[in-house]
Structure 1
Amino acid sequence: MPELPEVEVVRRGLERWVTGRTITAVDVPDPRSIRRHALGVEDFRGNLVGARVLDVVRRGKFLWLPLSDGTDDDGVPHTALMAHLGMSGQLLMQDPSQPDEKHLKVRLRLSHAADAPEELRFVDQRIFGGLFVTALIPTADGLPGGQSLLSLPLIAAEAAHIGRDPLDPAFSQEAFYQKVRSRKTGLKRALLDQSLISGIGNIYADEALWLAKLHYARPTETLRRSDAQRVVDAARDVMGMALDAGGTSFDSLYVNVNGASGYFARSLNAYGREGEPCPRCAALGLQSRIRRDSFMNRSSFSCPVCQPRPRNGRW
């Protein structure tokens, strides 16, 4: 599943190509991809045709496009088009002359803009993702809903329960520290808890923990402020590198908005490197190899030397 950097790559691409444009037509070749829009295809189309895309917002892995249909008397958008990429969802900008993709699910025709493709296509082979129209509500703290151009204090209703992510300018380190200390769980479980801190999945959790020299089973109630700061800073660094590389791509199904895969997978230090030398230890002349442990029906990768397992570890 795409993680935060991948979704941010998509957000930036959409921001460039769709902001300010009006949706002029909607085609839904496969209604399964709008199943979260309970009122069906015609209502989905009716909410979108004639609406102007005001912004593209992301919090964690959630992505939405605030809409204006010209009837917002207070000048504040009340609805948004929510996009969930799932395992294989792609949002692609295409010219109408381009043949339909094999797994095309939804097509939005956009108003003309100079040198810009006129269709936004949602393509999804595995059909775990989808699009739906949702309500925008005020954020609980009055701050912007997430990464965006306009920084409106609004959030899609379905994303209101998740915490801010490490790349969010409004992320509070102290609030994260207080919450994580109160959970009495393992550190990686806390990093994967979207209500505490959003956008971190299995890959970037392992990479951030490796960079911070912290073990995934470290009990959260033993964390010092400096530990919590170190792991969040590490997550920011890892995600920043991934953004520079265009996202991590293990699956050809993940592409950004223009169809270009990311290459950060080539720069991973821990994840998926079982049995390989730890890059940090190797640079110091130490002999250690990345180990893999079973974790929450998945895997965790760490170095037994520079990320020693705590005696009182929590899973």
Structure 2
Amino acid sequence: MPELPEVETVRDGLARHVVGARVRSVEVLRDYSVRRNDGGAAAFADQLWGRTLVAAARRGKYLWLPLAEPPLVEPPLAEPLQVEPPLVEPVETTPAAALLAHLGMSGQLLVRDGDDPWRHPHLRVRLHLDGAPSGATALDFVDQRTFGHLAVVDLAPTPDGAPGGLGAADAAVPEPVAHIARDLLDPALAPGTPGRDAVVAAVRRRRTGVKRALLDQTVVSGVGNIYADEALWRARLHYARATDTLRASDVRRLLDAAESVMREALAAGGTSFDALYVNVNGESGYFARGLAVYGREGEPCPRCGATVVREPFMNRSAYRCPRCQPRPRAGHAR
């Protein structure tokens, strides 16, 4: 499944390639891909027609493109002999709705030339565009495993009054995402901010293992299994260490490590293990070769040389160095 750096790479690509474009028409080739849109596929196409994509925003693994209001289908007719009204400066309004995307396990958003006759075999939705800054004439949603989805949703005000997420201009977030916490690349959670301090306090209030807390999307979003293991290795913490036994400095060190590893992955284009994750140009990331412990069972720890181990964790795996990340002593594990 794409993790936060992969989704941020896509968001950045959308910001550069399609923000400012107008939706000319919509093709829904598989209704299941818009299953969460009220009114189904027909309503999805109607709600997007004529709207301009005004930004590309992200919180955790959710992407959204705020939508400007569509033009009137027909301009209102003037009354006979009506006196010409005075000129009024147009007032920009805050978008009330957005195109929300969740990539699921294999979803891709790809910019295309809509006149190209070739179509991806797993194309689910195509937005035909006018005026894209890159010259692209289509935005394709491709999804092999069909766990991802698109929907046009209402925007709700953020409780803290800060922009909804990275790339957002307004203090609004899609209603289905309102329960998702901010992520560590969000400026509102930068080190030293009240937002980051609140996350530290929230982790320490939990009575659980530290990796479980790091994966809890209501505490901090966007950290998946790969980057959790890498952050814990950098912070020299065992995944089962009880959160209520951690000092504030331990949690800050862990959050700093998680942010650092994700920024490094972002610079490399994300972590790709197969062809399912690509950016908007169809290119894969290369951070997998820089992982210290994840997926490296039996290999030497790059820091101390001890053999990396893999252990079962929440129906998945946890990778750690037994020397750098020893098991917590009795009473300090969950």
Moved more, 113-122 or 10-19: 113-122
Residues in 2 aligned to 1:70 and 1:43: alpha-carbon distance in whole angstroms: 14
Contact 1:91 1:121 in 2 (8 A): yes
Tell me which of 101, 115, 122 is aligned to 2:120.
101
Residues 133, 275 of structure 1: CA spacing in aligned structure 2 closer, same or farther, 3 A cutoff? same
- Which has more radius of gyration? 2
**Partner Cα distance (2:123, 2:147) in 1:** 13
Does 1:80 find its partner at 2:91?
no
Q: How many residues align?
A: 309
Q: What's the CA shift string for 1:152-194, capped at 9, x where partnerless?
A: 1000111111111111110122101111111111000000000
Question: Structure 2 CA distance, aligned partners of 1:277 and 1:164?
Answer: 35
- Measured against aligned partners, the alpha-carbon deviations of 1:19-60 in whole angstroms (never above 9, x if no partner) come to 111101100111111111131111111100100111011001
CA separation in 2, counterparts of 1:113 and 1:102?
24
> In the alignment, is residue 201 of structure 1 matched against residue 224 of structure 2?
yes
Within the alignment, does 1:131 sit opposite 2:164 as a pair? no
Q: Within 5 A, what are the aligned runs for 1:40-119? A: 40-70=40-70, 75-98=93-116, 99-113=118-132, 115-119=134-138
Q: Distance in 2 between matches of 1:146 and 1:113?
A: 23
Structure 2: which 5+ runs fail to align? Answer: 72-89, 190-194
Equivalent positions of 1:136-151 (< 5 A) are 136-148=155-167, 150-151=168-169
Matched position secondary structure for 2:170:
coil
- Tell me the TM-score normalised to structure 2 length: 0.90
**Structure-1-length-normalised TM-score:** 0.95
Q: Is the 8 A contact 1:271 1:301 kept in 2?
A: yes
Give distance in 1, aligned partners of 2:182 and 2:247: 21
Counterpart of 2:237 (choices 211, 214, 229) is 214
| Paired amino acid for 1:51 | R
**1:277 alignment counterpart:** 300
**Alignment partners' CA distance in 1, 2:142 and 2:226:** 24
Q: Describe the SS at the equivalent of 2:17.
A: helix
1:161 corresponds to = 179
Give the one of 227, 231, 250 matched to 2:254. Answer: 231
Aligned-partner SS, 2:333: coil
Provide the C-alpha distance between the structure 2 equivalents of 1:314 and 1:119, rounded to a whole number of angstroms: 51
- Identical-residue share of aligned pairs (%): 56
AA aligned opposite 1:83: A
CA contact (8 A) 1:186 1:313 kept: no
How many angstroms apart in 2 are the aligned matches of 1:231 and 1:238? Answer: 11
The SS at the match of 2:187 is: coil
Secondary structure of the 2:303 match is: helix
- Give how far 1:92 is off: 0.4
Distance in 2 of aligned mates of 1:243 and 1:229 = 21
Quick one: structure 1 residues 300 and 313, their matched pair in 2 at CA, closer, same or farther if it must change by over 3 Å? Answer: farther
Q: Distance in 2 between matches of 1:248 and 1:183?
A: 29
Distance 2:158 2:28 in 1: 31
Structure 1 residues 113 and 184: alpha-carbon distance in aligned structure 2, compared to 1, 3 A threshold: closer
Deviations 1:76-122 (A, max 9, x none): 11100000100000100010233110010000011134652110000
Partners of 1:188 and 1:24 in 2: CA distance:
45
Q: C-alpha separation between the residues in 2 aligned to 1:202 and 1:114?
A: 36
For residue 333 of structure 2, what is the aligned residue in structure 1? 314
Unpaired segments ≥5 residues, structure 1: 283-287
Q: Distance in 2 between matches of 1:70 and 1:40?
A: 19
1:2 equivalent to 2:24? Answer: no
Alignment check: 8 A CA contact 2:199 2:219 kept:
yes
**For the Cα contact (< 8 Å) 1:82–1:132, is it kept in 2?**
yes
Q: CA deviation at 1:212?
A: 0.9
The residue aligned with 2:38 is 38
CA distance in 2, matches of 1:242, 1:97: 34
Tell me, in whole angstroms, the C-alpha distance in 2 between the residues paired with 1:74 and 1:91: 28
Between the aligned partners of 2:54 and 2:224, the Cα distance in structure 1 is 29
